[in-house]
A and B are shown apart, each in its own frame.
Chain A
Amino acid sequence: QQQVKQSPQSLIVQKGGISIINCAYENTAFDYFPWYQQFPGKGPALLIAIRPDVSEKKEGRFTISFNKSAKQFSLHIMDSQPGDSATYFCAASKGSGGSNYKLTFGKGTLLTVNP
């Protein structure tokens, strides 16, 4: 049972465009939603994260939009650059305040930004 569904599987965007990746979750106990960026042969790097008490969080060109009622959250990359080409994973976990909780990952989105 896949608890976090991520789409699209792959995405091609022109330089300067907006990249949008969507995730939907099933478990209403999830209360922490991070996005990770992974380059080939490297470990995932935390990009941005949100908790359900806010509907949007912005850090530079990266924005998370969160819709609690729809159980959906999305990553928007503004002014996409070729250096943003990577695989992006959404994730979710429950049990905020503790360190011993597991991340449930989406299947990933391969983003290609054409120059």
Chain B
Amino acid sequence: GAVVSQHPSWVICKSGTSVKIECRSLDFQATTMFWYRQFPKQSLMLMATSNEGSKATYEQGVEKDKFLINHASLTLSTLTVTSAHPEDSSFYICSASDRGTQYFGPGTRLTVL
């Protein structure tokens, strides 16, 4: 149980385009999902907390207009990187909370050319 999926697993895009990443909880309902960013050989950096049916809460320093988060249902949250630039290239990971325990997705590798 407690499986979280992400799609796509990797994406390459041109600078200036927007990319949408989906995060789904497959076997449980998650009122809260989290989005993280991870650089090579570093820890996870929380970007935002997403609650179903309400606006996401962004961490300090994260541009909310750059990283759009939508949590339209109890099993789906999306992260859209708008007007992506090479510095946005990173490993993006979501997690979903099931009764207080966070379960992580497999991650999405974004490369912006």
Contact = CB atoms under 8 A, between A and B. Distances in A.
Interface string A19-48: 000000000000010101000011111100
B100 A99 contact: yes
Interface stretch (B13-21, B44-52, B60-68, B82-90): B44-52
A105 interface: yes
B43 A89 contact: yes
Q: Using C-beta atoms within 8 Å of the partner chain, give the interface range for chain B.
A: 20 to 34
A55 interface: no
A32 B101 CA distance: 9
Residue among A98, A101, A102 facing the most chain B CB atoms (10 A cut-off): A102
Given A99-B31, A103-B46, A43 B107 contact: yes
Which of A34, A96, A97, A103 has the most C-beta atoms of chain B within 10 angstroms of its own C-beta?
A: A103
Interface residues of A, number: 24
Contacts of A107: 42-43
A41 B107 contact: yes
A19 B25 CA distance: 32
Contact of A43 (B49, B97, B99, B104): B104
B71 to A, nearest CB: 12
A105 B43 contact: yes
B8 interface: no
Interface string A73-115: 0000000000000000100000011111111011110100000
Given A105-B43, A107-B43, A98 B100 contact: yes
B31 A44 contact: no
Q: Which 10 A-B pairs have the closest CB atoms?
A: A43-B104, A99-B97, A43-B107, A99-B32, A43-B106, A44-B104, A100-B32, A105-B43, A107-B43, A43-B93
Interface of A: 32, 34, 36, 41-46, 49, 89, 96-103, 105-108, 110
15 contacts: A34-B101, A42-B106, A43-B95, A43-B106, A43-B107, A44-B44, A46-B102, A49-B101, A98-B100, A99-B31, A99-B32, A99-B100, A101-B100, A102-B49, A107-B43
